[in-house]
Amino acid sequence: MSELNSSTPTPSEEVQKQLADFRADFSKLTAEVSKVIVGHEDIVEGTIMALIAGGHVLLEGVPGLGKTLLVRTLADALHLQFSRVQFTPDLMPADLIGTNVVMETPDGRREFDFQKGPVFSNIVLADEINRATPKTQSALLESMQEHSVTIGGTTHKLPQPFLVLATQNPLEMEGTYPLPEAQLDRFFQKLLVPFPTSDEIAEILQRTTEVEIPEAEAVLEGDRILEMRALSRQIPIADEVRQYAIALVLATHPDQEIAPEMVKRFVRYGSSPRGAQALILGAKIKAILDSRYHVSRDDIRSVAHATLRHRMILNFEGQAENVFADDVIDNILATLGKAALVAS
């Protein structure tokens, strides 16, 4: 379905060229990452989309699926500073964001000097983030939302672009600390990394057990990512499409009249307004990749699962019935689709 009508603006030749360059650079970056990563096209696209949108990504999957390799490869394909932090129960906030250290000056005086932590990078891999204590997890909150770190009353800005890619294992829950709702809400998307197919495993073995192991080369600069981010925000969105995104978020709340029966039965809390922001920003990038200068409902629907699944909290009945957030989102999309048909 396309919401293109007479009121949809037509981009100038200059803007059309910028959009074409956007798609070319996006494809170039995707192709470079795919030289190392086998399959996972949706995961690669979603991660790059979050980087352009200015958001962060939570990657969930069992060990050995290439989550860490994906992050490292993305950093190699960009002229950006990369750091990796292995989250463990004994990791302290200062190990992540840095701390003030007493240093002696050449003239013999002593003064505090701020030693930056690994969070002062363009791309930060928070490996197995749910293994760190809540105190350490919360140290990421300010950096993810405000793109800054405050130590001793002094605020230090983080480099731009800034992307946190966190991984977590859904199986080993012993010795882990589930991410609080406020932390989950800071992630632009939650991407589920699937197990590879037989053909993909064969390709992985061929790439990793032969003489030459493929490596990604830097193809884009950080400034180009910021330019692409600014361009994506210029994509117009019709009021009715924006209202559809709002309705989608409201439908995740069991106390809302628009919520379907499945939400009222199995959901405890729904998405925050950040979910609506992520829906629209992701949909704008989807529109560019589909060679359109307007956002459609299909664009909204295409990013709904990744942007909303981690922003919904199921109640006890939902957990007991083994209901997944994706099942609820499917039901919401189907219900709103039927409502739209009735209204038309």
- The DSSP H or E segment spanning 7 is none
* 35 vs 324: CA distance, rounded Å: 33
Closest CA relative to residue 94, chosen from 103, 81, 85: 85
Cα 58 from Cα 47, distance rounded (Å): 9
Q: Are 189 and 57 in contact (CB under 8 A)?
A: yes
Q: Other C-beta atoms within 10 Å of 22: how many?
A: 19
73-103 tens-digit pLDDT: 888 888 888 888 888 888 888 888 888 777 7
**Residue numbers of the chain with a pLDDT score lower than 70:** 1-8, 65, 171-175, 211, 338-344
d(CA 168, CA 159): 25
Is residue 235 within 8 A of residue 295, CB to CB? The reply is: yes
pLDDT reported for residue 8: 65
What is the pLDDT, as a whole number, of residue 173? Answer: 59
What is the total residue count of the chain? 344
Q: How far apart are CA 139 and CA 126, in angstroms?
A: 12
The pTM assigned to this predicted structure is: 0.86
Place of tokens 């949809």: 8
Q: Where would I find the H helices in 152-310?
A: 181-184, 198-208, 222-232, 239-250, 261-266, 273-289, 297-302, 304-308
Q: Which of the listed CATH numbers 1.10.1740.110, 3.40.50.720, 1.10.8.80, 3.40.50.1010 matches domain 235-344?
A: 1.10.8.80
What's the start-to-end Cα distance of the chain, in Å? 14
pLDDT given for residue 211 in this prediction: 64
CA-to-CA distance for 305 and 86, rounded, in angstroms? 28
**Residue 223 dihedral angles phi and psi, to the nearest 5°:** -65, -35
Is the N-terminal amide bond of 161 cis, ω within 30° of 0?
yes
Q: Where are the domains of the chain?
A: 11-221, 235-344
Superfamily (CATH) of domain 11-221: P-loop containing nucleotide triphosphate hydrolases (3.40.50.300)
